[in-house]
Amino acid sequence: MTEQSVLFDQSRSTCCTDVLILLRIFVDIRKDTWLTPPLVDSDEYDLLRGQGDFREVPHAMYAGDVVAVAIPRPFAQMESVWYSGKSKSHVVNFLVICDCNGMARVSIGPATGRDNDISILRDSNFLKNSERYVLL
C-alpha cells in the first residue's frame, strides 16, 4: 500500500479502498470462469481421485514424487552430497506434488541427491503449512 499511495499520490486508506473496489469488480467479472473444486463424494470428485494407489485413501486428490534432474559431476568435496544411489548419478531432487489430473501444483526443492521424498517433504515449509490437512 505504501508504494501505491506514493505512486498515485493518495493516502493509504484511499489506496486500500480503491484496491478493494478493483477486487470486487474483478471478482464480479471473472468468478464464472474460475475452476472450483468438486463437492466431496460427488461423482466428479470420485472420478478425479483416479485409479492408482491413492484410490484406496478416502478423499486423496494429490500425490507427490521426487523428480531427479541430472547435473554434471560436482567437485570432489561435494560429490557424495549430490550423488543419488537410486539413479546412480549426480542429481538435484525436486518433490513435485500433482493433482489428480497429473498437473504439477507444488514443486519443493532443490534438494540434494541423497534426499528422498519423505526427507524433502519433512523439511519443507509446504508440510509445515499444511500438516493439519495431510494424511501420512
Q: What are the pLDDT digits (tens) for 6-27?
A: 888 889 899 889 989 998 998 8
- In a domain? residue 51: no
Chain segment 99-129, per-residue pLDDT in tens: 766 667 788 888 998 888 888 888 888 777 7
Verify that 66 and 125 share a domain, yes or no.
yes
Which positions ≥6 away from 110 have C-beta within 8 Å? 69, 92, 93, 94
pLDDT, tens only, 53-105: 555 555 666 778 888 898 988 888 788 888 888 888 899 999 888 776 666 77
**For residue 132, is pLDDT > 80?**
no
The reply to whether 52 falls in a domain is no
pTM above 0.75, yes or no: no
Exposed/middle/buried for residue 5 (C-beta within 10 Å: 0-12, 13-18, 19+): middle
Same domain, 29 and 63: no
Give me 27's grid cell.
Answer: 471478482
In a domain? residue 123:
yes
pLDDT at residue number 4? 79
> In which domain, by residue range, is 125 found?
59-133
List the alpha helices (DSSP H) in 1-89.
Answer: 2-7, 12-30, 43-48, 79-82
Is the same domain home to 73 and 107?
yes
